[in-house]
Chain A
Amino acid sequence: MSTIAFKALLLVGSLLCINASWLPTKAWLSQALISYSWQQSMAQQSLLIQNHLEKGRAQGNENKVTNTKVAIKPWPWADTFPIAELSFKRLKEDIVVLNGGDPTTLAFSAGAIAPFNQTNSTKPFVVAGHRDSHFAFLEGILMKDVISMTDQHGQSQLYQVEAIDIVDASSGQLPVLANDSSLILITCYPFNAIGNDTNERYVITAKLL
Chain B
Amino acid sequence: MFNSKKNLRLIDYQDSYFYQQKRKKARRKWLKAFLVITLFLLLVAVIVPLAQSQNINKELDSAQLFNGEKNGKSLIHGPQLLFNHPDKNKRVALPIDITADIEVSGLMAYTQIKQVFINPYNLELEGKYQFPLPENSAIKHLSVKVGDKEIVGQIMEKKAAKAVYNKAKRQGKKASLVQQQRANLFTNNIANIPAQSTVVVTLTFLMPVTFFNDELNINLPLAMTTRYQPAYYQQSPAELSSENKPAEFITLNESALNENTSEENSSHEYASYSSVSNNSPEDFPALNLNAPNSKVLAKSQATININLNAGVAISSVRSSSHAINTKAIDNQQSQYLITLSKAQSIANRNFNLTWQLEPSQKPQISSFTEQVDGEYFTLLTFFPPRADNTEVIARDIIFIVDTSGSMQGSSMAQAKASLQHAISRLNDNDSFNIIAFSDSVNLLFSNTQMVNRRNINQAQQFINHLQADGGTEMYRPLSQALVMAKNSQQSSQAIRQVVFITDGAVANEFELMQLLDGAQRDFRLFTVGIGAAPNGYFMKKAAQFGRGSYVFIQNNNDVQASMSALMTKISQPAVSNIELMFDNKIHQQVDVYPKKITDLYLDEPMQVAIKSKFPITSVQLTGDTASQPWYQQLIIDDSQKSQGISTVWARSKIEDLLDGLVMGADKEQVKHQVITTSIAHQIISPYTSFIAVEKQPEPSLQTAAQKSNMLAKAHENLMVAMPKTALGWHQQFLLGLLLMLIAPLTLRIWSK
Counting CB contacts under 8 A, is B470 at the interface? yes
Report the Cα distance A173→B725, complex, angstroms: 14
Number of interface residues of A (CB under 8 A): 82
Stretch touching chain B among A10-18, A45-53, A153-161: A10-18
* Cβ-defined contact, B717 with A177, below 8 A: yes
**B 54-79 binary contact with A (CB < 8 Å = 1; else 0):** 00110010000000000000000000
> Within the assembled complex, what's the spacing in Å between the Cα atoms of A3 and B744?
9
**Pairwise interchain contact A14-B736, C-beta atoms closer than 8 A:** yes
For residue A141, CB closer than 8 A to chain B, the reply is no
Chain B residues with a Cβ closer than 8 Å to the other chain, count: 78
Shortest distance from the beta carbon of B489 to any chain A beta carbon, whole Å: 38
Q: How many A-B residue pairs have CB under 8 A?
A: 251
Asked if B328 is at the interface (CB within 8 A of a chain A CB), the reply is: no
Given A115-B535, A132-B729, the answer on whether A190 and B57 have CB atoms closer than 8 Å is yes
Q: Which residue of B lies closest to A132 (CB)?
A: B727
Nearest chain-B residue to A175 (Cβ)? Answer: B183
User: What residues on A are CB-neighbors of B49 within 8 Å?
Assistant: 192-194
A114, B505: Cβ atoms closer than 8 Å: yes
B contact residues around A12 at 8 Å (CB): 736, 739
Q: Check A186–B725 contact: CB distance below 8 A.
A: yes
- Chain B residues within an 8 Å CB radius of A192: 49-50, 52-53
Q: Is the CB of A194 within 8 A of B405?
A: no
> Is A58's beta carbon under 8 Å from chain B?
no
Is the CB–CB distance between B470 and A79 below 8 Å?
yes
Residue numbers in B under 8 Å from A2 (CB-CB): 746-747, 749-751
Shortest C-beta distance, B469 to chain A (Å), equals 7
CB pair A79 B718 closer than 8 Å: no
Map CB proximity to B onto A58-88 as digits: 1 under 8 Å, 0 otherwise: 0000000001010101000111110000000
Query: B residues within 8 A CB of A188?
Result: 724-726
| A80-B505, A114-B538 known; A21+B723 contact, CB < 8 A | no
Give the interface segment out of B293-301, B407-415, B444-452.
Answer: B407-415
B723 contact set on A, CB distance < 8 A: 101-103, 106, 111, 113, 128, 186
Alpha-carbon gap, A190 to B718, bound state (A):
26
Cβ of B157 to closest chain A Cβ, rounded Å: 13
Supposing A9-B742, A17-B733, A176-B717 touch, asked if A135 and B234 sit within 8 A by C-beta, the answer is no
> Do A114 and B411 touch (CB < 8 A)?
no
Q: Known interface pairs A6-B747, A13-B743, A115-B537. Does A132 touch B52 (Cβ–Cβ under 8 Å)?
A: no
**Given known contacts A6-B743, A10-B740, A77-B470, A180 and B505 CB-to-CB distance under 8 angstroms:** no
CB distance from B602 to the nearest CB of A (A): 29
Nearest chain A residue, comparing its CB with the CB of B505: A100
For residue B170, CB closer than 8 A to chain A, the reply is: no
A103 CB to closest chain B CB (Å) equals: 5
Per the bound structure, the CA–CA distance linking A186 and B730 in Å amounts to 20
A147 beta carbon closer than 8 Å to chain B? no
- Given A101-B533, A102-B531, A166-B60, residue A14 in contact with residue B725 (CB < 8 A): no
* Cβ–Cβ contact A198 & B726, under 8 A: yes
- Is B477's beta carbon under 8 Å from chain A? no
CB within 8 A of B722: which of A9, A100, A173?
A173
Chain A residue numbers with a CB within 8 Å of B238 are 170-171
Chain A hits for B46, CB < 8 A: 194
In the complex formed, the residue of B with least CB distance to A100 is B505
Measured between beta carbons, the chain B residues less than 8 angstroms from A106 are 723-725
State whether B725 touches A77 (Cβ < 8 A): no
The 4 closest A-B pairs by CB, nearest first: A196-B728, A2-B750, A16-B736, A13-B739
A sample of 10 inter-chain contacts (CB < 8 A) reads A16-B733, A17-B737, A79-B406, A102-B411, A114-B538, A126-B720, A170-B237, A171-B236, A193-B53, A196-B726
- Knowing that A17-B733, A173-B721 touch, tell me 13 more A-B residue pairs with CB under 8 angstroms: A9-B740, A21-B733, A77-B439, A79-B405, A79-B438, A102-B505, A114-B535, A168-B234, A170-B238, A171-B236, A172-B532, A186-B722, A190-B53
